[in-house]
Each structure stands twice: as C-alpha cells, then as structure tokens.
Amino acid sequence: MDELVEAFAARRPSGLEQVYALWSRLFFSVARHAISDSARAEDCVHDALVRVWRSPNRFAGNREMLKAYLVTCVRNESLAMLRSEGRRDARELKAARLAPVTLVDPPAVDPVETQRLQAALGRLPEEQRKALTLAYYGNKTHIEIAQELNAPLGTIKSRISMAMRKLQTDLASAAGSRS
C-alpha cells in the first residue's frame, strides 16, 4: 500500500497533512462549484477531510482511489451544507410569514383600579411614561425601546426602573388614603 494511503487510513496527522497539501486545490474547486462563497467552500473542505480522517475506515486502495473517494466526500459535504442552509432558510421564511402575535390585555376586573393606574401613569414624566408604556403595552425589549426613542440603553433601563418605583409609591399612597 502507498505510504500516503497508509498514513491517511491509519489516521496519522501526517497523512491528513499530505492529502491536504497534494489535493486541497482540487477539493476546493469541487466545493466551490457547489457553494458560491469561497470561505464556506474552504470550511466545507476542512470539515469533509477531518470527518473522513477521524472516522474509523478501512480504506484499502491506491492513491488515485483515495483521491476519488475524498473528492466524493467533499462533494457530498458541500451538498449537505447546501441542504442544511436551504432548510434553515425555509424555516426563517416560514417564521417571517407568521402573523405577529398580538397580546390582548385581560379585561379589567376593577374599573376603579384601572382608573387609578391610568391616573398614576399620567403623573409620570413623559420620558418615563413612554419607556414604560412601550415595555409593558408595546411588549418591547429595552434594546428595542432604546432604538425607538433614540436613547442609550442604560437611560431606558433607568427610566423604566424609576417609573416602576414611582407607580408603586403613588398607587400605595392612593390605596392608603382610601382606607
């Protein structure tokens, strides 16, 4: 058996290095034919060679048979990569077509409490009220709110935190005065 074939079949690092040095341009060409991106084609060649080299195989043949076998492995790896990307793209497209979920507020149990909350919200500074309203009624993340209001993320977090504390204090004092 050829020394190269023997080293590769025995999974010696020198075998992998020699195979790559000899035929990497051919492998890249095969992968590049299926995959339009050069960097992804290089990744494909690397993944295919390492996968074959790591797997226990009993390759028995000459140098040309090894070369043909590895070309087939690289081709199959590139097709598998394309299929995987196609499935991912299809999932993303399907997710993009889904109608957004609209959250409906549960019916107010107590109209008096609802009025108290609305009044307390109305007493908040405008900046805090906007941030809090976007977070709770708009169901937005702090990052989305920061982008929408064109404000730093830390500022948005502070505004929401301060608004929550003010609401808590305001509603607690209003409840105490009613008793």
Q: What is the CATH number of the domain that holds 28?
A: 1.10.1740
Within a domain: residue 76? yes
Domain ranges, residue 131: 111-178
Q: Is the pTM of this model over 0.85?
A: no
Residue scoring higher pLDDT (179 or 55): 55
Same domain, 75 and 122: no
| Statement: residue 169 has pLDDT above 60 | yes
Total domains, the chain: 2
Q: Which two tokens stand for residue 102?
A: 């609209």
- The average confidence (pLDDT) of the chain is 84
Long-range pairs for 44-52: beta carbons < 8 A, 24 or more residues apart? 44/74, 44/77, 44/78, 44/81, 45/74, 45/77, 47/77, 48/73, 48/74, 48/76, 48/77, 48/78, 49/16, 49/19, 49/20, 49/73, 49/74, 50/16, 51/77
